[in-house]
Structure 1
Amino acid sequence: MPSLPRPGLLFVPDRSWFAVPRLADSNHGIRHNARVSFLAALLAEEYGLDDDDIAAVCAAGAVHDCRRRDDRTDPGHGQRAASWLRRHTVTVTTVLGCEVPEASLCRAAVAVALHDVPYDRFTEEQERAYRDAPHLVDVLKAADCLDRYRYRLPLQRWWPDLTRLRIPVPGWLPPAAFAFVVRSEQAGLDGASHRDALATACQTLTRAQ
């Protein structure tokens, strides 16, 4: 199994953040949101985002699917999650463990609002919003895409299609992301809590610098 080349920031969302409690344990639940948060932080560092935007996109990943009402197609869940994030920034940054400037949090909310909208379906308003936060939107979309492996979402149309992204993904990351999914999901199936399953997977994927 591959190793991630540097530590990421593991941010596990709280169960109470989910609009539908049962979905916290679903395909788009706590583990998925935490993995996307972790992968987004890695990608943000890879592309030279500053510390504030790295923290912001980490927060965006942790909440991006928390307001889903359906584990399948659920149009608008990104906008609902963005609205929730704007109302609960103090709660989120307290759990994150660091202060994040308002401007970075605003960009994070834009990324959350647009994560479930394909680039080619952006409205004029969404295009304008994208231009305010292109790097965070691109990173969050890429991180979310990387967590869509057949192990978790079995349909062909859910496979990660990296050609739809606007940033290149480093070659080391897709196999590492796959290993992260497999190890954390297996730990969950073996009875570990969400946090323990994710922490165990991170420890086995990350090597000291």
Structure 2
Amino acid sequence: MTARPDISLRELAAARALPGHQMMDAPTLDWIADNPPPPAVYTPGLAADDILLLVPDPAWFTGRDQAEGLHGISHGARTCVLAFLLARAHGLDEPHTAALCTAAAVHDCRRHDDRTDPEHGQRAAAWFTEHAESVLTALGQNVPAALRAEAAAAIAVHNLPYDAFSPDQRTAYQRAPHLTDLLKAADCLDRYRLPLARWWPNLTRLRITVPGWLPPFAHGLVVHSERARLDGAGHHNALTHALTTLTTR
């Protein structure tokens, strides 16, 4: 079931009637835009061309509805952007940054719906492991084999509370905690796309420090990219427009 065009996601969420496949709509986006987080005291100089933007292929998702929905292509691409900015803030080297951003781009690609799907992280990790070579070629990223395994381990647990990790997942996490911590943070920051404020980013659940300027940036990234999508832009062009808008003010 998909959302009815005459009822906004925000109304459906308030009525506890969200469908399995959810698309952004203008009234919901207007509400998101009207409720930004507190403005940043300081924002570093950013250039759109310096920010890594990886846009996942629609064919990587479980279906067209998923690719176009709230956990689809635009979410993966924004999570990549936020992961890149977090990687820069935390001093990750180039190979780890490539692994993190690739994981961010595909972390939700095997979801079955936009509601609860607790196994989707593990499915996406298995899918990435199987298709890593073609995914990395398509995205233009060079990630060594060992880091591919660490990226897959981060994907597998990105949606799980830390205390829900299995013994094997805890062992994998300990080998490269920064990839999981930063992926969780990037995914969290894109929650401004969701139609109720109680689902928005809760930074107290993270294990890393998020720069104070990044939540307002993440909110703006949602607003500008989703507005461009509603106006007819493709995913890549919508994200490029948003990044240009946010980095040239």
TM-score, with length taken from structure 1: 0.93
1:156 and 1:203, CA in 2 relative to 1: closer, same or farther beyond 3 A? closer
User: 2: distance between equivalents of 1:19 and 1:4?
Assistant: 37
Question: Is 1:109 matched up with 2:160?
Answer: no
- 1:20–1:68 CA contact under 8 A, matched in 2: no
Partner deviation per Cα, 1:75-118 (whole Å, 9 max, x = no partner): 11001001111111111111221321111111111110010101
- Of 164, 174, 182, the residue aligned with 2:215 is 174
Quote how far apart the aligned CAs of 1:4 are.
6.1
- Of 156, 159, 162, the residue aligned with 2:203 is 162
Partner deviation per Cα, 1:106-149 (whole Å, 9 max, x = no partner): 11111100101011222222211210120000000000000001
| DSSP 3-state at the match of 1:94 | helix
Quote how far apart the aligned CAs of 1:157 are.
3.9
Question: Is 1:92 matched up with 2:158?
Answer: no
User: 1: distance between equivalents of 2:164 and 2:197?
Assistant: 21
User: 1: distance between equivalents of 2:191 and 2:44?
Assistant: 18
Question: Is 1:186 matched up with 2:230?
Answer: no
1:4 and 1:20, CA in 2 relative to 1: closer, same or farther beyond 3 A? farther
- 1:4–1:206 CA contact under 8 A, matched in 2: no
| DSSP 3-state at the match of 1:88 | helix
Q: Where in structure 1 are there 5+ consecutive unaligned residues?
A: none
- 1:37–1:62 CA contact under 8 A, matched in 2: yes
Runs of 4+ in 1 over 2 A off after TM superposition: 1-7
- Of 39, 45, 61, the residue aligned with 2:104 is 61
* Higher-Rg member (1/2): 2
| DSSP 3-state at the match of 1:68 | coil
Aligned partner of 2:179 in structure 1 is: 136
- 1:4–1:176 CA contact under 8 A, matched in 2: no
| DSSP 3-state at the match of 2:191 | coil
- 1:8–1:39 CA contact under 8 A, matched in 2: no
Partner deviation per Cα, 1:173-196 (whole Å, 9 max, x = no partner): 000010000000000011111111
| DSSP 3-state at the match of 1:170 | coil
User: Which has the higher mean CA deviation after the structures are superposed, 89-98 or 133-142?
Assistant: 89-98
- Of 94, 100, 105, the residue aligned with 1:51 is 94
Partner deviation per Cα, 1:15-73 (whole Å, 9 max, x = no partner): 00001221111000100000001110111121111100100111001100000001111
Aligned length: 206
Aligned partner of 1:32 in structure 2 is: 75
TM-score, with length taken from structure 2: 0.79
- Of 180, 197, 200, the residue aligned with 2:238 is 197
User: 1: distance between equivalents of 2:159 and 2:91?
Assistant: 24
| DSSP 3-state at the match of 1:148 | helix
User: 2: distance between equivalents of 1:204 and 1:107?
Assistant: 34
User: Which has the higher mean CA deviation after the structures are superposed, 46-55 or 3-12?
Assistant: 3-12
User: 1: distance between equivalents of 2:175 and 2:90?
Assistant: 17
Give RMSD over aligned pairs: 1.7
